[in-house]
Amino acid sequence: MPIKFSLFICSLSLGIFAPYIQASEATPSTLAENITLIDVVQLTLKHSPNIEVKRLGVDKFKAKQEIAGGKFDVDLYATASFDNNINTTRIYDQLDPAQQATFSRPPVNNELKTDTDQQKLTMGASKKFRTGVSADINLSMKRSDPRQDAHRFTTNRSHVEFTINIPFLKGAGRASAMAEETVARLNHQAGISNFQHALTATLLEAIKAYWDYKQSVVYLEKVKESAHYIQIWLDSTEIASDSLQGYLEEVKGRVIDAEQKVEENKINLINTMGIEISQDQIGKPHTNVRLEWDDILANFDQETMRKQWIAQAEKNRLDLKAVLLQVEASHVLLGKAKTDLLPSLNLKLSTGYNGYKQNNGFDNFSDSLLDNVRGMESSAMLSLKYPLGNHVAKGKRDLQQASYSQSLIESKNKLRTVHLDVKKEVVNVYGRLKKAVQMRKTTQSYKKSIIAMQENPNFFKETVKLLSLIDMEDKFISSLEDSSIAMTDLMKAIAQARFQTGTLADVDATAHKINLETLMTLPNM
């Protein structure tokens, strides 16, 4: 029995955390057997409703950018119209005799009418450029047929005109004309960065839930093994021991609590991942970590880590990048608001020509574009507009100035918060490292004590010594729980440190690169 118990002690100690292995891609069959940290990450990326909602938010920013840029599209237009106008021009009875004599016979209904048939076709294209300049080319063709007047011919007239409008003050330049599009683009980029940051935050919660599940499963297995071996002791002792029996019942109670904790943590993991599968389809956690952290603790200089992690956070934190993009967008709007204080001074230049063709028929209608052209027309107009007081523009400028100042304050506060979060995480990681190393030493010390007791056969013959063995076993089991919790807290702190430094995952707009080693090692270590 001493040999069996010694092997049991080693399995308790070494089985808690062993060197990690690479996880494979998650499938329903493999998840039922075991689940790895990479499986959790993959499933969270695919199924988390929080990530999907944030992704749709990015799509909204993209749509707004497309809308803002749409005002620079070429705008094609065309209209076709038909008019038949019948108007009474004179009343026959009201004409003087000389005028009536010009008619061979009185008109029907005593009315003199005009019946004009007109068709008009207009088409063209207009475009606003990102410099503020706008241009328009227009073609109009009009056919007029005086149907009841034999002395008048059908006329076909065409007009071609090219117009360009050039602003010199308000609305001039790319900074003013493109402001809305630029802001929409910056907001889209900020939306992407915020989405990527939210994605890593969701991954962080899933990773923490995985380690909690891992810890509860490990502890349950060890408590069950402890109950098994205590039963062996009870069967092997040569003395009646109510204390040993009582301790066995106590350990069985711990098993019940541990089983409940496993189920709670499993449900929490499923909920965090956002998947719709039953608890039975999630197997045991199958990603392990290194045991020895003494060398990491020995080389962990808090001041050096603070400087390095803050530099990484400033470079990689996507939420910080989003805030800076929003500051830039606010600055663009402020620039436009300042430009809009100026008067509107626009120069409009036009050139074109007129064409004419007589008589009915479609050929004459279309030929009017080129026939009887007498030369190019041209015109120029300079317009100035400025409201006295200019209160609207000044109010918008002041409003945007306040918004820009707010964004600057928010960006500085965000940077300050990031620095404090990183400093806090350095202290947290250092404390977790010390706790994990210390608890491992504690567990190993209890293990050695129990093994030494096992080498003395009198421990199962003397009540006092048996009670001391029970007490040592109780301390050992408690230390195993504390050790597993300490290691779990360390792994969660490592993931948190990766998150705070922006190095938890390499994400962009289309792909997410997740490295298992990155999730389980400290930055710059």
pLDDT of residue 9: 34
**How does the average pLDDT of the chain come out, rounded?**
84
Residues 314 and 461 grouped into a single domain: yes
227 — pLDDT class (breaks 50, 70, 90): confident
pLDDT of residue 370: 83
Closest CA to 3 of 467, 460, 480, 451: 451
88 lies in a domain? yes
Closest CA to 337 of 419, 255, 275, 394: 394
Region of poorest pLDDT, from 127-131, 220-224, 228-232, 445-449: 228-232
Residues 119 and 144 grouped into a single domain: yes
Residues 226 and 95 grouped into a single domain: no
Q: Report, as an integer, the average pLDDT of 320-336.
A: 96
Residues 214 and 314 grouped into a single domain: yes
pLDDT one-digit tens code per residue, 349-368: 999 998 988 888 888 878 88
Higher pLDDT, 278 or 158: 158
pLDDT of residue 397: 96
Q: Please determine, for residue 325, whether its predicted confidence score (pLDDT) is greater than 90.
A: yes
Instruction: From residue 183, give the alpha-carbon distance in Å to each of 66, 118, 187, 392, 519.
Output: 12, 48, 6, 21, 36
pLDDT of residue 248: 83
122 lies in a domain? yes
Residues 470 and 325 grouped into a single domain: yes
Of the chain, the end-to-end C-alpha distance in Å amounts to 44
Close Cβ partners of 400 (under 8 Å, ≥ 6 residues apart): 330, 333, 334, 336, 337
Q: What is the largest CA-CA distance in the chain?
A: 154
> SS3 for 460?
helix
pLDDT of residue 11: 33
Q: Please determine, for residue 238, whether its predicted confidence score (pLDDT) is greater than 70.
A: no
Close Cβ partners of 491 (under 8 Å, ≥ 6 residues apart): 211, 289, 520
350 φ/ψ sector (left φ>0, alpha ψ -120 to 50, else beta): beta
482 lies in a domain? yes
Q: What is the DSSP string of 247-272?
A: HHHHHHHHHHHHHHHHHHHHHHHHHH
524 lies in a domain? no
Question: What residue spans of 237-358 are helical by DSSP H?
Answer: 242-273, 294-298, 302-316, 318-339
Q: Which residues pair with residue 34 across a beta bridge? A: 284
Q: Cα 361 vs. chain centroid, distance in angstroms?
A: 62
Question: What residue spans of 455-515 are helical by DSSP H?
Answer: 463-500
Q: Please determine, for residue 100, whether its predicted confidence score (pLDDT) is greater than 70.
A: no
pLDDT of residue 101: 67
Region of poorest pLDDT, from 28-37, 281-290, 366-375, 475-484: 28-37
As a whole number of angstroms, the distance between CA 189 and CA 187 comes to: 5
Residues 453 and 503 grouped into a single domain: yes
Higher pLDDT, 149 or 327: 327
Residue whose token pair is 């630029």: 182
92 lies in a domain? yes
Q: Please determine, for residue 243, whether its predicted confidence score (pLDDT) is greater than 90.
A: no
Higher pLDDT, 358 or 89: 358
Residues 313 and 285 grouped into a single domain: yes
pLDDT of residue 90: 60
Residue whose token pair is 């109010």: 395
The pair phi, psi for residue 20, each rounded to 5°, is -75, 160
525 lies in a domain? no
Total structural domains within the chain: 2
Residues 201 and 308 grouped into a single domain: yes
Q: Report, as an integer, the average pLDDT of 133-157.
A: 82
Q: Report, as an integer, the average pLDDT of 191-218.
A: 94
Amino acid, single-letter form, for residue 275: I
pLDDT of residue 471: 83
Residues 57 and 147 grouped into a single domain: no
CATH code assigned at 260: 1.20.1600.10
Q: Report, as an integer, the average pLDDT of 149-171.
A: 86
pLDDT one-digit tens code per residue, 439-496: 999 988 888 887 787 777 776 667 777 777 778 888 888 888 899 999 999 999 999 9
Close Cβ partners of 201 (under 8 Å, ≥ 6 residues apart): 499
Residues 166 and 201 grouped into a single domain: no
Share of the chain above pLDDT 70, in %: 83
* Pairing of β 34-35 and β 284-285: parallel
Q: Which domain holds residue 366?
A: 74-128+133-170+344-385
Angle between helices 302-316 and 391-454 (to 10 degrees): 140
As a whole number of angstroms, the distance between CA 220 and CA 253 comes to: 11
Q: Please determine, for residue 24, whether its predicted confidence score (pLDDT) is greater than 80.
A: no
394 lies in a domain? no
pLDDT one-digit tens code per residue, 392-421: 999 999 999 999 999 999 999 999 999 999
The pair phi, psi for residue 177, each rounded to 5°, is -65, -35
Answer for the pair 193, 318: CB distance below 8 angstroms, yes or no. yes
Residue whose token pair is 């100026």: 342
The length of the chain, given as a count of residues: 525
Residues 155 and 189 grouped into a single domain: no
Tokens of 179: 């402001």
As a whole number of angstroms, the distance between CA 433 and CA 490 comes to: 6
